[in-house]
């Protein structure tokens, strides 16, 4: 999902970081970047059906958190 979000944001709003084993890359975003939050949200939604049932609640929480943060940042 990190790579998908990275590609959706044209590689300039999200920085990918890799683990020592390169199997589970993560990502880094600026906490006030609403476009990056949107890209990550879209990536989670795109792959949500493929996420294992045990992990879905965690990703639902991440998605809800990102949506809430984005809404807070967009308020005047």
pLDDT for position 27? 57
- Around Cβ 14, how many Cβ atoms within 10 Å? 24
Mean pLDDT for back-to-back runs of 10 residues, the chain (76 residues): 70 60 55 76 88 90 86 83
Instruction: Give pTM, 2 decimals.
Output: 0.66
pLDDT for position 50? 92
Q: How far apart are alpha carbons 54 and 72 in whole angstroms?
A: 29
CA angle 43, 16, 70 (to 5 degrees): 50
pLDDT for position 49? 93
pLDDT for position 73? 82
pLDDT for position 25? 53
Instruction: Return the beta strands (E) in 1-76 as ranges.
Output: 15-17, 26-28
């Amino acid at each position: 999902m990190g790579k998908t979000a990275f590609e959706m944001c044209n590689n300039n709003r999200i920085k990918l970081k890799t683990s020592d084993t390169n199997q589970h890359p993560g990502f880094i975003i600026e906490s006030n970047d609403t476009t990056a939050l949107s890209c990550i949200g879209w990536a989670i939604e795109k792959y949500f059906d493929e996420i294992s049932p045990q992990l879905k609640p965690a990703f639902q929480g991440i998605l809800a958190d990102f949506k809430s943060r984005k809404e807070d940042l967009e308020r005047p």
